[in-house]
Amino acid sequence: MSIVLSKHAKQQISLRGVSEEIVWSILHSSNFFGTEDGLSVYHGTISENNKMYLIRIFVNERVNPNLVVTVYKTSKINKYLT
């Protein structure tokens, strides 16, 4: 699967303090969660300062190459995984 980061996704990665390496790791680890608003959602967890965070990655898989639309980090892990 060929994937590229949109300009917006790159801005959000930087703004939210998520490394691109983490994003690529989650995407290549097949951490598919489901779909929201027609976009595929991938999840992965990270630990920062002794706290767990969920990284959510939204991908438009209807275009070629697939396009990462946005990325964000949340501490509300149970909200999305239960």
According to the model, what pLDDT value does residue 50 have? 94
DSSP states of the chain: --EEE-HHHHHHHHHTT--HHHHHHHHHTT-EEEEETTEEEEEEEEEETTEEEEEEEEEETTSSSEEEEEEEEES-HHHHH-
Extract the residue ranges of the chain whose pLDDT is less than 50: none
Q: What pTM did the predictor assign?
A: 0.90
* CB proximity list for 33: less than 8 A, separation 6 or greater: 41, 42, 43, 56, 80
Residues comprising the chain, all counted: 82
Structure confidence at residue 30 (pLDDT): 73
Domain ranges of the chain: 3-81
pLDDT recorded at residue 1: 66
